[in-house]
Amino acid sequence: MTDFAIKRKKLALFDLDGTLFNTNEVNYLAYKEALENFGFSFEHDYWYANCIGRHYKDFLADIDITDEETLKSIHRLKKQAYKKYLNYAKENNHLFEIIELIKPNYYVVLVTTASKKNVEDILKEFDKLNTFDKIFTQEDVTKMKPDPEGYLKAMQYFDIEAEDTIIFEDSEAGLSAAKASGAYYFQVFKFND
């Protein structure tokens, strides 16, 4: 994490999956492996059409997995499997270059609904753990995107208003959260292909 000796007056918030990294295949393979332990599965096309950008409890409910203990177990197994599929992840080099350029004027923060474990796994894999001034994961919020709680917490933490904040997002839920936060936001398009 970065030294806060110099107070910056602006805030840049970044989503992880589909924005900083294309992790579609990583998440698909990790969830596929976890689901197989419970006799469930979904096809590659189903994942891409129905699951990307959504919280796991929502897309698993679509295939009739609603028992809280089963959901927790699947998610735990997915987090364990995630690291072994990181060779499928792709870094958004352009966005990381932008981060380096704006660092003198902006606090750079990661706000994601991904788990802390998976965030640390991918950032270590790509040597990006020290890129961010702060990281907010699913463990830091009670409401997931499209609720703006994560973004609002980041603004509050740095005591920076929405008009001095920019958000980079890709998914419908993330963009809804960004809009609801009152901050300026940019949609990442092509990288999510």
CATH number of the domain at 118, please.
3.40.50.1000
Domain that holds residue 177: 10-22+90-192
How many structural domains is the chain composed of? 2
Q: Are residues 106 and 28 in the same domain?
A: no
Query: What local confidence, expressed as pLDDT, does residue 53 receive?
Result: 79
Give yes or no for residue 78 having a pLDDT over 80: yes
**Residue 169 reports pLDDT greater than 90:** yes
Residue 177 pLDDT > 80: yes
- Write down the residue that tokens 């409910």 correspond to: 61
Q: Which of 44, 62, 87 is the last residue of a domain?
A: 87
**Does residue 175 lie within any of the structural domains?**
yes
Which pLDDT score, from 0 to 100, does residue 189 have?
86
Q: Are residues 74 and 102 in the same domain?
A: no
pTM for the predicted model, two decimal places:
0.90
Q: How far apart are the first and last CA of the chain?
A: 30
Cα-to-chain-centroid distance, residue 22: 10
pLDDT at 192: 53
Domain boundary among 87, 122, 139: 87
Query: Does residue 5 form part of some domain?
Result: no
Residues 75, 109: one domain?
no
pLDDT at 5 (0 to 100): 57
